[in-house]
A and B are shown apart, each in its own frame.
Chain A
């Protein structure tokens, strides 16, 4: 078939069933065009066909015969839109970026032709980019970039990207795991259980096959991996997989934890249960399918007594009792889980989409009985993680085992349906809360029971986190896991906190309302955290808050809500950064990864500014487990671990250089370590590499919503996000991440929900049309404010902010809806049906 590709004629043989996306990626090697959903919803695969955009994952190859195709590579890297994306940091992980860039470039060209350099409105930009999804939520930067490009602000001049790897992501050159093709590589696919609960017997297959079963050979949810096979192409591998016969002895399905059948009947099987929390698991008893309570109480009996007494005799106190629920939320990173495994003798090489190169290398060494130095993990670019890519997952096991069996490299990349079923979720939680304010309005006590709907997982710990918020008033805190035959919950950006705050921060709001007190003023009284005090003070002066008005009783009603968040400060005290002088530049190397959060840029900025260099004189190489030990991108520990280590390394290099210039010091190498915090850590020694530092980060979010009371839609219009995480190393990137945290919080509050078939637990929201993540049009105007004081005991004076920035967003929306409508939502997401029912239309 002949067509024109990026201005050049090509002639290529294609299969009838092939898509244009597949031809571009697999036959032409143009991997800038990504495939993230495969159903035309997300826009990552967008190309131009005769100058008009199309989703190439839905285009039959034959449809472009004799036509002109332009991919992101064909834009040349110098299109004003590409320059603008770099300057405005309109990206994070970069996986959706080529699609956005192609669409935005087409829009800009059309806009200029019709309107010259007038700036398009936000609505016009949203209309044009409605077919693109960014899971990191870089929409605020995208609005800025597209408007500026249309206005002619980026037609010429040198581009100075804020994010050091921006240009490679914007041009499609950045290589992700799904883009890796090695000589002789096979494609692996995973055979999954069609049954919610079954014992697996014989697996009949006349070729090589890797089993992926737990030791007891029991599958416990629909979609659980059973085995994997490989073939030269994905289509062939799927065909092979379809021929495999698996004997299942079906067991009774547990879809409520009250069922008689026990999902984990033995001590041994419980040990294999996946975990939804990070760090050590709080001890708890098992009772059938319920694990709990995991208690975290402080004067729990006193708390219960006070609340019982208040129930019987109010005595001028304010008691708020309510049950709140949250839905199961999927991570659904734009780059799916994927691994390319290759054995070289006894050395194992992995290209991996991971947020933890060192941790996964350690786990892999243990699992395949190798010495640590025999495992080499590479994650050059990672298309999002959000907590779902911190372990050896089934894609890794499948690729490694198949590669060993076949003796060639094997690539396993999950499809979007697999990703949405088995790629990870935040457990749903039901929280029963009683919150008591004494007659003077002080926090008297609370009780909080969290019931995690975590499928086959344990450790849903939501209530747990309420121990550390609002001082030391008595509190009884209990967490329970309710085990069912449904896909597992795993850690997700601030595990446990968004659901806990959904409950707590609405109850606090309710106390303020009943007392007739300003909700910010009440929080300021209850909350002893000095850093959040600064945020409360600032928030209370915002015009959006100060001038909030009666929403009235018209169709559209505006309301403003506030919510706060509190999070522990984690770091990896073992972090090292090596610096080497190479050809007049300084190259920083560390075994960490950049999943879109900006770790490359933080290291580059610290090294550059400490040594007084130009940006071109520093290069950062990360994403390799072979480098100096670095942290996982988890628990917001990256920045407070890597930045002080990079600074230490830079100081050592300065000393080692003495009076020499870089050109005179070729090959000079130093290794910097993460200096200890003043007064040390809460944890006497690191647990699984993590230490808990002293102090808590904080956030205060003020959100304005417009509620359409006719059609039941909630539209966040403005968000102020105040974050107290100390010094901000690269402000534009930090802002981007906080804006993304707001977007994910909006998704959690309003749209995102895993739906299942109630009879089997089969996930029905197995595509990005039914699983609804926010689009660019759902983006409010976001104002991010950083309070940077209060971390003098931390070298570099800054801690992580990737999680604190998202936790309170949903609760602020709940409080805003309450203000707008008089009805308080208790269940997430606030779908139109729930809103209409709630406000009583």
Chain B
């Protein structure tokens, strides 16, 4: 048993890296790990009086999926969690770890290269192999952010509760993507404790979609989450976010705005999806991601504007 403060101190003193489930940290040559798993009280879901949930940072992805109340209350989060990695990773990987993991750039993870991320002054992907890179240029590094959960949480306007600083929104947790050296904005010794969900929306329609080559178990080329509420045919609220296309997970208010007050026709959805591509400035071999971003948005919007399927036994 240890405390958050002790862990924070260990990180500051040793220059170590926090480790939760370890499914990311263990795959990298890292600074000495400082384990969080022995800190009590960080795992599990607590329901608050207003019906909202507080998700402890060490709650595993599998825990999210096993909680019927949570999956009913936050369907976009559940759909996203179900698509992450593989069963034996979801059993170990945590919510906090998913949000704060390092990106998967194949140059970053190859010891032969240095880059902006590791203190160098180049991005080998820009001039080199950038098939899977970001297409929304936010700064020197073009590694897409790996957290799928963050995409879902952006659409819920969830809040991060952090030891050592005041709570911050999910978008704030990642900033503008301009700093290539980190995948989130927490300082050394600041520890994500929990994610605070807002109270659930009663009848939302939500979906998660990812574009991949294989059926399962693959990092997305592009991923998208949409949450809509409809009054008859008319879209009354919308929240849309995407991943795989930028250094940070991205909330897309312009796409949501284009849907509000309109009926969910094919044309409306396509026109809204088009707006997302305005931000893109792809490299030669990543241009397809612009089309794929639009396609994934159309897919996810179509999925959650269609009437929900009848309940099955």
The answer to whether A832 touches B216 (Cβ under 8 A) is no
B245 in contact (CB, < 8 A): no
Please tell me which stretch of B4-12, B72-80, B289-297 contacts chain A, meaning at least 4 of its Cβ atoms lie within 8 angstroms of it: B289-297
Smallest CB separation, B168 vs chain A (Å):
29
A756 and B129 within 8 A (CB) = yes
Give the contacting residue for B107; candidates A57, A60, A194, A764; CB below 8 A: A764
Chain B residues with CB under 8 A of A113: none
**Are A777 and B216 in touch, CB under 8 angstroms?**
yes
B278 interface residue, CB < 8 Å from A? no
Number of A-B residue pairs at CB separation under 8 A: 150
User: Chain A residues near B174 (CB, 8 Å)?
Assistant: none
Does A43 interact with chain B (Cβ within 8 Å)?
yes
A55–B92 CB distance below 8 A: yes
- The answer on a CB contact under 8 Å between A775 and B129 is no
- Count of chain B residues with a beta carbon within 8 Å of a chain A beta carbon: 48
Considering the complex, which residues of chain A in the window 128-164 have a beta carbon less than 8 Å from any beta carbon of chain B?
128, 130-132
- Known contacts A55-B89, A222-B112, A767-B109; is-contact A711 B211 (Cβ 8 Å): yes
**Is A569's CB within 8 Å of the partner chain B?**
no
**Alpha-carbon distance between A778 and B35 when the two chains are bound, in angstroms:** 37
* A52 to B87 Cα, complex, angstroms: 9
Write out the residue numbers on chain A whose beta carbons fall within 8 Å of the beta carbon of B216.
126-127, 130, 775, 777
The answer to whether A712 and B292 have CB atoms under 8 Å apart is yes
Query: Which one of B19-27, B180-188, B231-239 is at the A interface?
Result: B19-27
What sequence of 0s and 1s flags, for each residue 764-802 of chain A, a beta carbon within 8 Å of any chain B beta carbon?
111101101011011000000000000000000000000
Which label, helix, strand, loop or mixed, suits the secondary structure of the B interface?
Answer: loop
Residue-wise interface mask of A (34-54) relative to B, using a CB-CB cutoff of 8 A (1 in contact, 0 not): 000011110100100100111
A348 CB → nearest B CB, Å: 34
- Which of A60, A127, A130, A765 is in CB contact (< 8 Å) with B106? A765
Quick one: which of A52, A713, A769, A841 contacts B104, CB cutoff 8 A?
A769
Q: Would you call A668 an interface residue if the criterion is a C-beta within 8 Å of the partner chain's C-beta atoms?
A: no
Known: A55-B92, A58-B26, A715-B215. A755 touches B131 (CB 8 A): yes
Contact of A759 with B91 in the complex, beta carbons under 8 Å:
no
Chain B residues with CB under 8 A of A59: 22, 26, 92
Decide: B26 and A53 in contact? CB cutoff 8 A.
no
Contact A43 B296 (CB under 8 A): no
Asked if A395 CB lies within 8 Å of chain B CBs, one says no
Shortest CB–CB separation between residue B192 and chain A, in angstroms? 19
The distance from the CB of B24 to the nearest CB of chain A, in whole angstroms, is: 9
Say if the beta carbon of A806 comes within 8 Å of chain B: no
Task: Pick the most buried of B88, B109, B128, B292: most chain A CB atoms within 10 A of its CB.
Answer: B88
> How distant is B34 from chain A, measured CB to nearest CB, in Å?
11
B221 interface residue per 8 A CB criterion: yes
With an 8 A cutoff between CB atoms, is B213 at the interface?
yes
Closest chain B residue to A750 by CB distance? B213
Q: How large is the interface on A (under 10, 10 to 19, 20 to 34, 35 or more residues)?
A: 35 or more
- Which A713-760 residues sit within 8 Å CB-CB of chain B? 713, 715, 750-751, 755-760
Q: How far is the CB of B143 from chain A (nearest CB, A)?
A: 13
Cβ contacts A341-366/B at 8 Å (1 or 0 each): 00000000000000000000000000
Which B residues are CB-close (under 8 A) to A19? 26
Question: A770, B106: Cβ atoms under 8 Å?
Answer: yes
Whether B212 sits at the interface, judged by CB under 8 Å, is yes
Is the CB of A762 closer than 8 A to any CB of chain B? yes
Chain B residues with Cβ below 8 Å from A831 are 213
Q: Is B219 an interface residue (CB 8 A)?
A: yes
A102: nearest chain-B partner, CB-CB: B88
Q: Does B217 contact A (CB under 8 A)?
A: yes
B267 within 8 Å of A (CB atoms): no
Tell me which residues from 381 to 410 in chain A have a Cβ below 8 Å from any Cβ of chain B: none
- Tell yes or no: B140 within 8 A of A by CB: no
Say whether B252 faces chain A, with CB atoms less than 8 Å apart.
Answer: no
How far apart are B188's CB and chain A's nearest CB, in angstroms?
Answer: 20
Q: Which residues of A contact B92 (CB under 8 A)?
A: 49, 54-55, 58-59
Indicate which residue in B88, B213, B219, B288 contacts A54 across the interface (CB closer than 8 Å): B88
B129 touches A751 (CB 8 A): no
Q: With an 8 A cutoff between CB atoms, is A103 at the interface? A: yes
Chain A hits for B86, CB < 8 A: 43, 130-132
Q: Is A440 an interface residue (CB 8 A)?
A: no
Q: Does A836 reach chain B (CB closer than 8 Å)? A: yes
- Residue A833 interfacial (CB < 8 Å): yes
Residue on A with the closest CB to B298?
A: A710
Residues of the B chain whose Cβ atoms lie less than 8 Å from the Cβ of A778: 214-215
* B110 sits at the interface (CB 8 A): yes
Known: A750-B213, A775-B217. A194 touches B288 (CB 8 A): no
With most chain A CB atoms within 10 A of its CB, the pick from B27, B113, B127 is B27
Among A55, A711, A755, A832, which residue has its beta carbon within 8 angstroms of that of B129? A755
What residue of chain A has the Cβ atom nearest to residue B219's Cβ? A769
- Name the B residues within 8 Å of A751 (CB-CB): 213-214
Chain A residues near B288 (CB-CB < 8 A): 712, 832-833, 836-837
Cβ contacts B183-206/A at 8 Å (1 or 0 each): 000000000000000000000000
Min CB distance B276 to A, Å, is 15
Nearest residue, chain A, Cβ from B20:
A63
A718 to chain B, nearest CB (A): 15
Render A96-115 as a binary contact track against B, CB cut-off 8 A, 1 for contact. 00000001000000000000
Judged by a CB distance under 8 angstroms, whether A441 is at the interface is no
Residues on the A chain within 8 Å of B27, using CB: 38-40, 58
How many angstroms between the C-alpha atoms of A767 and B28 in the bound complex?
A: 12
B218 proximal to A (CB < 8 A)? yes
| Given the contacts A757-B128, A758-B128, A128 and B87 also touching, CB distance less than 8 Å | yes
Q: Does B44 contact A (CB under 8 A)?
A: no
Q: How far is the CA of A49 from the CA of B295 in the complex (A)?
A: 40
> Given A715-B215, A750-B213, does the pair A757, B124 have CB atoms closer than 8 Å?
yes
A239 to chain B, nearest CB (A): 13
Q: Report B158-192 residues with CB < 8 Å from chain A CB.
A: none
A77 CB-CB contact with B under 8 Å: no
Considering only residues 257-313 of chain B, those with a C-beta below 8 Å from chain A are 285, 288-289, 291-292, 295-296, 298-299
A-B contact pairs, 10 of them (CB 8 A): A40-B88, A103-B88, A126-B215, A712-B288, A757-B107, A757-B129, A770-B106, A832-B292, A833-B288, A836-B295
Instruction: List 5 extra interface pairs beyond A126-B215, A755-B131, CB under 8 A.
Output: A38-B27, A58-B22, A756-B129, A767-B109, A772-B213
Sorted nearest first, the 6 A-B pairs with minimum C-beta distance are A131-B86, A833-B288, A777-B215, A130-B216, A764-B106, A53-B88
